[in-house]
Structure 1
Amino acid sequence: MAKTNPKTTARAKRIRRIRKKISGTSERPRLRVFKSNKHMYAQIIDDVAGHTLVSMSTIDKEFEAGDEKGKVGAAKRIGVMLATRAKAAGINKVIFDRGGSVYHGRVKSLSEGAREGGLEF
């Protein structure tokens, strides 16, 4: 039997606990954030239809490394770019899903960038 990593099981429990409380609709979709060690991913999801409406990440072709300070600055740019894509798709209000991560650092920076871009949480 394979050993399970306590960090991943604890994170999975946090994700389930968050997802019990929030769900995205077509009027107010869910903004989901995932961060790895190298990259940052964000997508806006309609949970009723089960579709991703808009997505953005640091590995996206439109994203270029700029003058921002490290990963936190890149996350903020991801938030701004995601907000402009969402506005083009007609999305103004979202529900924020931090994805089991602490609302600090890159996650907080992404949400602030999305707010600057015009999304309402």
Structure 2
Amino acid sequence: MIISKNSKMNSRMRRLKKSRCQMKALGVTRLVVHRTSRHIYAQIISSESKVLVCASTLENQIKSRLTYTGNKKASEIIGEIIAKRALLKKISNVSFDRSGFKYHGRIKVLADSARNFGLKF
């Protein structure tokens, strides 16, 4: 598949590389978010690139609470769960890595929910 020079995917990858390089240079713990049309995923990754905490709409306990896993309600629940799991592991300060996605819609709802439940970024 040939991707044009100004495609959505190339723009997202450019934003992703720029922000991720800055965070790796600082050596911070990151809250990484990825979304598809049907699901949303969140991971907290240490500066050594080890996954410390994760949550996604693929988990049975989360999927059972939702009728559809690709909306803002699902993002809100994932933000709540990732924050609670992080606080149990004594992680409170993270940097928000939105993986090149624009900060609106489901990404913004997840970030706001994680902040409301105790994560600081």
Task: Return the TM-score normalized by structure 1.
Answer: 0.86
C-alpha distance 112-67 of structure 1, shift in aligned 2 (>3 A) = farther
Q: Residue 34 of structure 1: SS of its match in structure 2? A: strand
Deviations, residues 84-121 of structure 1 (Å, cap 9, x unaligned)? 10011110111001111111110000001101111111
Query: Which residue is equivalent to 1:53?
Result: 52
Which digits, 9 at most, give the CA deviation of each residue in 1:58-96, with x for residues without a partner? Answer: 11122133489x710110110000001001111011100
Please, which runs of 5 or more residues in structure 1 have no aligned partner?
Answer: none
* Matched residue type, 2:73: G
C-alpha deviation, 1:7, in angstroms = 2.0
Q: Does 1:96 align with 2:86?
A: no
**Paired residue for 1:9?**
10
Q: Give per-residue Cα distances to partners, 1:9-66, cap 9 Å, x unaligned.
A: 22111101111222374xx51001111011000100013x220100101111221334
Q: What is the identity, as a one-letter code, of the residue corresponding to 1:60?
A: E
State how far apart, in whole Å, the 2-side matches of 1:88 and 1:60 are. Answer: 19
Separation (CA, whole Å) in 1 of partners of 2:13 and 2:84: 30
3-state SS in 2 of match to 1:43: strand
Worse-superposed segment, 7-16 or 32-41: 7-16
Secondary structure at 2:92's aligned position in 1?
A: coil
Letter in 2 for 1:77: I
Fraction of identical pairs, as percent = 35
Give the root-mean-square deviation of aligned CA atoms: 2.0
Are residues 1:44 and 2:44 paired?
Answer: yes
**Aligned positions, number:** 116
TM-score (structure 2 length as normaliser): 0.86
CA distance in 2, matches of 1:58, 1:79: 11
